[in-house]
Amino acid sequence: GWIVNHKRTYRLYRDEGLSIRPKLPKRKRAWRYRQGRPAVGGPNEVWAMDFVSDGLFDGRPFRILAVVDCHTREALSLTPRATFRAFQVVEVLDALVRLRGRPKSLRVDNGPEFAGRMLDQWAYLNGVEIDFSRPGKP
């Protein structure tokens, strides 16, 4: 009998003109259904969200969740923690919405805190569109 390893499988598929569907982890499927990038028209329309990492003097790492208004470039929130989970990101967003109101769009990258269902559920409940792209890019 034949032993079929991944290289032979790939060659046979390629010879037949087929393509192997790349597997995506379950937690990263949500980003596939998000929309394209909206234009920034004024303040409080588009917020960008990403993490900044650093270390303490004794070597322990920490992260800062940065939320920025894309029109005014104002830092809306800089929240430090040793580790961030998706529900903690949602808590920060809830506090911001109480202070500033809802944005029309939220710009994020594909980090595990952003790519899951929890952020999508928050966005759906708050009527916020998620723009899945690099947050630092205009």
Tell which residue, 93, 65, 91, has the closest CA to residue 78. 65
- Total residues found in the chain within this entry: 138
Q: What is the mean pLDDT of residues 63-88?
A: 92
Task: Label each residue of 55-103 as H, E or C.
Answer: ECCCCCEEEEEEEEECCCCCEEEEEEECCCCHHHHHHHHHHHHHHHCCC
pLDDT of residue 37: 58
Instruction: Please tell me the CATH superfamily of domain 24-132, with its number.
Output: Ribonuclease H-like superfamily/Ribonuclease H (3.30.420.10)
| pLDDT at 38 exceeding the cut of 90 | no
> pLDDT category, 30, cuts 50, 70, 90?
low
Say how far residue 97 (Cα) sits from the centre of its chain: 18
What is the pTM (predicted TM-score) of this model?
A: 0.68
Q: What is the pLDDT of residue 50?
A: 92
Predicted pLDDT of residue 36? 57
Which two three-digit tokens encode residue 10?
A: 């790939």
Q: For the chain, which residues make up each domain, given as ranges? A: 24-132
User: 68 and 48 in contact (C-beta within 8 Å)?
Assistant: yes
Average pLDDT, the chain: 83
Whole-number pLDDT of residue 5: 83
In whole angstroms, give the CA distance from residue 131 to residue 90. 16
Residue 117: band (very low, low, confident or very high) from pLDDT cuts 50, 70, 90: confident
